[in-house]
Amino acid sequence: KAGVTQTPRYLIKTRGQQVTLSCSPISGHRSVSWYQQTPGQGLQFLFEYFSETQRNKGNFPGRFSGRQFSNSRSEMNVSTLELGDSALYLCASSLGGSAYEQYFGPGTRLTVT
Amino acid sequence: QQQVKQSPQSLIVQKGGISIINCAYENTAFDYFPWYQQFPGKGPALLIAIRPDVSEKKEGRFTISFNKSAKQFSLHIMDSQPGDSATYFCAASENTGGFKTIFGAGTRLFVKA
């Protein structure tokens, strides 16, 4: 089975712009979670989607949003980018239901200048 | 209450030695405790996980010890190898209608040959 894929792998944006990141989960996985990883704050939970519904959300401003499609693929969007949004954005998929095991993609490295 | 505290921040172990990483949590709603291994430039990879009804789980050279009353759990890497040099994260998950996973700050392990 193919693993979790994320596109693009690297991205450079300017302050004030917006960005959309994409995640394709492992085939059959219906839950997708997004995390932000920075040297200072570590791995922080952004949100989780299951069957196109956001079920849980971390403590991030409304500039961070996401969605999930019927094929379980997910996108996250960050609007009005700030320098502090520079981070590795990781997507993880799991079967959902009572299966907690999460499998991470390689991440998208976002740099905001 | 949502924090997961991980120690030490960094660890140097001789080849063949035992690496021990500790984590503590507060939220008793957590019911799944995974450990992840992350190499530079890669996403975290699930290593081993435990549920709170079990006090110990072993997979190969990796063992999780879990103390529910103390709200602590630890990862033991037996016969540590240079290839184990990576950053290790403990985490705690809860399912309150949707998954939410909180990660520890990470431990950088270096195994000396």
- CA pair distance B83, A100, nearest whole angstrom: 27
What residues form DSSP beta bridges with A111?
A12
pLDDT at B15 over 70: yes
pLDDT for A93 equals: 95
C-alpha B82: how far from its chain's center? 18
pLDDT for A24 equals: 98
For strands A42-50 and A103-104, give the pairing: unpaired
Contact residues, chain B, for A56 at CB < 8 Å: 96-100
Higher pLDDT, B96 or B16: B16
Q: Which of A95, A93, A66 is nearest to A78 (CA)?
A: A66
pLDDT for B1 equals: 54
B101 contacts A42? CB cut-off 8 A: no
Contact residues, chain B, for A107 at CB < 8 Å: 43
Distance from CA of B14 to the nearest CA of A (A): 26
pLDDT for B2 equals: 66
In the predicted model, what is the mean pLDDT of residues A84-89?
97
Q: How many CB atoms lie within 10 A of CB A105?
A: 25
Higher pLDDT, B78 or A1: B78
In the predicted model, what is the mean pLDDT of residues B39-47?
93
B97 contacts A102? CB cut-off 8 A: no
pLDDT digits (tens, 9 = 90+) for B52-99: 999 999 999 999 999 999 999 999 999 999 999 999 999 999 887 777
pLDDT digits (tens, 9 = 90+) for A59-80: 999 999 999 999 999 999 999 9
A45 contacts B100? CB cut-off 8 A: yes
- CA pair distance B103, B30, nearest whole angstrom: 12
Contact residues, chain A, for B101 at CB < 8 Å: 33, 45, 102
Higher pLDDT, A52 or A2: A52
A43 contacts B89? CB cut-off 8 A: yes
pLDDT for B99 equals: 79
Contact residues, chain A, for B37 at CB < 8 Å: none
pLDDT digits (tens, 9 = 90+) for A5-46: 999 999 999 999 999 999 999 999 999 999 999 998 899 999
Instruction: Kindly indicate the confidence band of residue B19, based on its pLDDT and cuts at 50, 70 and 90.
Output: very high
